[in-house]
Amino acid sequence: MVKTMKLIVRAPAKVNLGLDVASFRKDRLIEWDMVMTSVSLNDYVQIETQDSSNNIEVHSNNGFLPEDSRNLAYKAARLFLQEASLNQSVRIEIDKHIPIAAGLGGGSADAAAVLRGLNEIFKTNYSLKKLAKIGIKIDSDVPFCVYSRTSRVSGKGEVVVPLNRLPKMWLILAKPGISVSTPRILHQISGKALEHPKIDNIVNGIQNSDYNQIAKNLGNSLESITTQNYPQIFTLEQRMRKYGADGSLMSGSGPTVFGMAKTHSRAQRVYNSLSGFCSEVYLTQPLNIENP
């Protein structure tokens, strides 16, 4: 048994280059078809095993993050220990940089970091596929965050197919001063006429390293619902393009909007222009790109 060991794991945010509600059943189960990538905006998760048994602690530098069993990192630790039949105590410290309730998968990224970290600490040698199988029990974004590379994600989030590296690009993220409840947005899907982005075109653009094809096919089925509730998201997208982004889109269920730029100088200009309009702006790159 490992008694005391400490490890810090990086937990990257995710963005959706494409998000489609492929089907919506009467029992409210959603089938997704998405293209996701991880970016260089990270939480840092410190995992420490302790010389005692069967206790999980979660602490964070963010007062809005629950530190009990509602926390996805807590759930990840509990499920991992159960799966591995380990009677061990774990203390988790989350250094939070990814905005909460922002459509960037921060909680799922933290949970995935815990799964990867415990797998390393306890030398269980679980494959990413195995960790993703545990992760889907926590949240639909966790399997992708386990892989943390550009992928097409389908089903309920459990089918993760890694794609080629993205062509070199920069992503400017901007979160307006609101938080969005994903369950509330999903509850409004019923009866709505959704737009369905061309996910295949985004995938083909990635596989062919075609920056322009990716930029012109960005799309999110949930955008029409979220922007109806929060029109400032649409305004932010328009500003992104006005300031020079080649494409802009809401990530996840919102409210964060990202813009694409091919060069650092163009991205910096968009970032500088938005900084006076929006208090939370981040200049990032996808982690999985050519010639970083």
pLDDT at position 291 over 50: no
Average pLDDT over residues 124-140: 97
d(CA 267, CA 154): 30
Active-site hit among 33, 110, 139, 141: 141
Active-site hit among 14, 75, 96, 175: 14
Which pLDDT score is estimated for 191? 61
Answer positive or negative: Cα dihedral of 66, 190, 255, 18: positive
pLDDT in tens, 202-213: 999 999 999 999
Question: Which of the following CATH numbers is that of domain 170-284: 3.30.70.890, 3.30.300.90, 1.10.10.350, 3.40.50.880?
Answer: 3.30.70.890
Local confidence band at 116 (pLDDT 50, 70, 90 cut-offs): very high
Average pLDDT over residues 88-92: 95
pTM across the whole model? 0.94
Indicate where the chain has its CATH 3.30.70.890 domain(s).
Answer: 170-284
pLDDT in tens, 101-113: 999 999 999 999 9
- What is the CATH code of the structural domain delimited by 5-162? 3.30.230.10
Q: Does residue 175 contact residue 255 with C-beta atoms inside 8 Å?
A: yes
Residues with Cβ within 8 Å of 187's Cβ and at least 6 positions away in sequence, in order, are none
Residues with Cβ within 8 Å of 268's Cβ and at least 6 positions away in sequence, in order, are 283
Angle at 76 between CA 86 and CA 154, to 5 degrees: 130
pLDDT in tens, 223-258: 999 999 999 999 999 999 999 999 999 999 999 999
Indicate where the chain has its CATH 3.30.230.10 domain(s).
Answer: 5-162
Residues with Cβ within 8 Å of 183's Cβ and at least 6 positions away in sequence, in order, are none
Beta-bridge mates of residue 115: none
Helix (H) or strand (E) holding 124: none
Which pLDDT score is estimated for 267? 98
Which pLDDT score is estimated for 177? 92
Beta-bridge mates of residue 45: 9, 94
pLDDT in tens, 53-73: 779 999 999 988 889 999 999
Q: SS3 for 128?
A: helix
Helix (H) or strand (E) holding 154: strand 151-155
Q: Is 14 a catalytic residue?
A: yes
